[in-house]
Structure 1
């Protein structure tokens, strides 16, 4: 198990280490060696892997020579997608831009982040990481972070990005999946594809909306319940306006409905504010 960038939000890092132990470690199984690294800070910070880890990593890999070595971490050193934009997450992650509402800021940041480079922010660190993998004859590096599937080789080392679970798909031809690798001389990887939305923007945005709604319900079911009630009442309001045409009751009912939306919005804002301050 290895930390992802969402796992270190708020008090996530301390919670993780309390429940699961160190954020980087290794072990042997039969004639294979498995090394787990913490690269989670690399999405929002200039440095993905700490100097302390790099020192430990090289000692660990040196001791493992002669075994098949597998390295597991979250953020890939380089983003294999073409045409990605520079990573600017650290510049605006908690910043409300001038003239934007809270909701606009969250939506714009979300859309912009999907097109950003999801690799290490520092190209020199990416090169350093890949050189270490090559120098110590690592067999395969398993990665995630990009919500898709990629399998490629750099400097004699195989890199597999498997990000087909947990969030909306990030590239046009990606799909939900998981992989099974049999650790033997065949070096075979079985990719199990799961039901996924069609490769159209509308379908994928609807699927992402459903994922977001489900996760928000798990976080704060009361706020979601108010939103559902609000939309239901809005439909009733429209029916009343069309068929009853009674202006005064409609205005009173509309004011009450607006108050419900305001309450739900403030509840969501308070929820995100608590997360940012943790």
Structure 2
């Protein structure tokens, strides 16, 4: 009886192992998950049928599960929203498993999502993966009365000279539209330090930051949106109004109730004006213990969920190996003991 039970256990573990191998070896990102910027700008244009429309801006979900899934559900239930713009750091790094998990999440979104590249999105070899999945690192499009410009400052340093020249041309084109929205991941300046434009969680090349702001000042910019800072900040640099929105699920480091909470922003556009609605979500309490606890839980939970089949494969392999060693009178402990004896 004991032999039969052990045999059934081995068969069951091997079955789990085979499924895990299949899941792990199966291509993470399918051919249909390519050139999503082109696909989704077309979908957004189809959704926007008049000069009166609403879109959502959010950022820094960073492989979040609970909070980002809640945001997706809320947006799905909001028929006024026509498309979503993500200000970057959609994944923790460029690992294909993490991109695969993110793509599975946004497939549940019933609105097109347009990305801005963040520093985490291109980390650890993520540049090629981002290019394949989404398309260009910077781009523009127009919808009815508005012009949208998406920039790439994921290096956290600056906008390169080629992109600066491209931006000048795009801003000239934007003059033909009533509203101009600009998006980039890293803020030009850190709004927490911006009295003297001191460096912070913002562009490190201050001369380039000044050049960029001077350029934007020459045009009638409706709003510049950023991510990168995990919170909510609004303000104005000279003539340029800005919003930092980095509250879509990544860890919340700060403890300021005015800024450090999960959220997204609804932007309503019509021919008279543009209005902004802040949508808050449940966030950890504003104390050190709750914030650190939530920080640890976010990454533990996401690591287990995202790497579920790898973890299952590892566990099943270790159990089978243990049973095999037991058959010959060995254990992990006895093998380790022998190994260290031989070393010494």
TM range (shorter): 0.5 to 0.7
CA distance in 2, matches of 1:156, 1:82: 18
Which residue of the other structure, out of 151, 154, 158, is the alignment partner of 1:48? 158
SS in 2 for 1:150: strand
Which residue of the other structure, out of 119, 128, 137, is the alignment partner of 1:14? 128
- Report the Cα offset of residue 137 of structure 1: 1.8
The answer for unaligned runs of 5 or more in structure 1 is 88-115, 229-254, 260-278
CA distance in 2, matches of 1:48, 1:157: 18
What does residue 92 of structure 1 align with? none
Q: Is contact 1:146–1:170 with CA below 8 Å preserved after alignment?
A: no
Q: Tell me how large the CA RMSD over aligned residues is.
A: 2.5
Q: Is contact 2:180–2:220 with CA below 8 Å preserved after alignment?
A: yes
- Report the Cα offset of residue 144 of structure 1: 0.4
Which residue of the other structure, out of 158, 170, 189, is the alignment partner of 1:60? 170
Deviation digits for residues 229-269 of structure 1 (CA, Å, limit 9, x no counterpart)? xxxxxxxxxxxxxxxxxxxxxxxxxx95xx8xxxxxxxxxx
1:178-257 equivalences in 2 (<5 Å): 178-184=264-270, 185-221=272-308
CA distance in 2, matches of 1:124, 1:9: 25
CA distance in 2, matches of 1:74, 1:163: 9
Which residue of the other structure, out of 183, 188, 194, is the alignment partner of 1:77? 188
Q: Does 1:162 align with 2:249?
A: no
Q: Is contact 1:27–1:33 with CA below 8 Å preserved after alignment?
A: yes
CA distance in 2, matches of 1:222, 1:24: 34
CA distance in 1, matches of 2:216, 2:251: 30
Deviation digits for residues 109-161 of structure 1 (CA, Å, limit 9, x no counterpart)? xxxxxxx8211001111111111111122111010000000000111111000
Structure of greater relative contact order (alpha carbons < 8 Å, 6+ residues apart) = 2
Q: Is contact 2:224–2:242 with CA below 8 Å preserved after alignment?
A: yes
**TM-score, normalised to structure 1's length?**
0.65
Which residue of the other structure, out of 163, 175, 194, is the alignment partner of 2:261? 175
What does residue 131 of structure 1 align with? 214
- Report the Cα offset of residue 219 of structure 1: 4.4
CA distance in 1, matches of 2:214, 2:220: 10
- Report the Cα offset of residue 15 of structure 1: 0.9
SS in 1 for 2:166: helix
Aligned residues between the structures: 196
Q: Is contact 1:39–1:49 with CA below 8 Å preserved after alignment?
A: yes
The answer for unaligned runs of 5 or more in structure 2 is 1-114, 316-331, 337-344
Which residue of the other structure, out of 120, 129, 134, is the alignment partner of 2:203? 120
Residues 54 and 82 of structure 1, relative CA distance in 2, 3 Å threshold? closer
Deviation digits for residues 150-173 of structure 1 (CA, Å, limit 9, x no counterpart)? 000111111000000231113212
Q: Is contact 2:189–2:203 with CA below 8 Å preserved after alignment?
A: yes
What does residue 8 of structure 2 align with? none
- Report the Cα offset of residue 186 of structure 1: 3.2
